[in-house]
Amino acid sequence: MMFCFLFLLSFPILTSANDGGPFDYLMFTTIYPTAVCRADDDSVPDSCEIPKGTPQWTIHGLWPNYENGSYPQFCPGTPSRFDENLIKPIEPKLLAVWPNLFPHKSIQSFWKHEYEKHGTCAQSDERYKNELLYFSNSIKAYETFNIASALSSIGPSDKLITKEQLHNALLEVTNGKSYQIHCLRDKKTKQYLLGDIRLCLNKDLTIRDCPDDRNSNRVHTRFPRRASNGGGLPTYQECPHSFVYISAETSYTPRGLFAPLWDKIFG
Ligand SMILES: *[C@@H]1O[C@H](CO)[C@@H](O)[C@H](O)[C@H]1NC(C)=O
């Protein structure tokens, strides 16, 4: 009886935010795969792998958000389940700029997760009303805001950079608007690595400020956030004042032939 009562009580609360109604803006998140795989737990072999030819920065997702800091998820969509056939025309492009870095999961699993959790909640707007439009607009955002190019003046390198240096380099894409960044912790070196950059976009994909965290009743649903859904994966966290935009060549452990031995001794 009590269970029934609680169930009835909670149902309208859950559905009111996830009915696919209007959202306020989009958060466009790009990740830095080099950092994701560096922060990944090396005790699990081949758990993180950057596909050959992957650009420096790749897509994590395009997320409908509310001004109050919360966001709708798993909305009723058309289709409500990811259908690979619908994105066939742009699949080669998606493979390049939106790769899955975790080989134990299927290539499409990342897209499936992002579409079902976030894409289904963007359909109230004509421009995102179906799966193909959601993914093509994500690619459009990626092509509009070239993070790798903006950051080329400060890295990647093995040196520490400050939030100010990052801010100045990013001006090229942010145009002075506020944004968010997150870091990943390298378990071995304890270094904070720049892991993702989140831009806030209007529905027409022009840049806008992210809502000010301090002045909103922000519900901390976004963060900390795992690199992907699953266990044992790196967690995105707040960046300290300085951190490393790590280069793919920066290496502190011998890779290849000696890696298993090295891990045995120092792992
Ligand atoms: C945030 O705003 C949305 C849309 O207006 C609303 O549905 C949701 O309940 C709000 N969440 C909080 C925590 O205030």
Compute CA 100 distance to the chain's CA centroid, rounded to the nearest angstrom: 11
14 lines ligand 1 (CB under 6 A): no
Verify whether residue 241 is a known catalytic residue: no
Which residue, judged by its Cα, is nearest atom 14 of ligand 1? 68
Verify whether residue 118 is a known catalytic residue: yes
Q: Tens digit of pLDDT for each residue in 35-74?
A: 999 997 666 767 899 999 999 999 999 999 999 989 999 9
What is the value of pTM for the model shown? Answer: 0.83
219 lines ligand 1 (CB under 6 A): yes
Verify whether residue 60 is a known catalytic residue: yes
Percent of the chain with pLDDT over 70: 78
Residue at 95: amino acid letter: L
Which has the closest alpha carbon to 154: 174, 170, 137, 176?
170
**pLDDT under 70: residue ranges of the chain:** 1-17, 41-43, 45, 213-233, 251-267
Give the CATH number for residue 184.
3.90.730.10
Q: How far is CA 60 from CA 26, 135, 144, 228, 246, in A?
A: 13, 12, 15, 9, 19
Structural domain span for residue 259: 2-266
The number of folded domains in the chain is 1
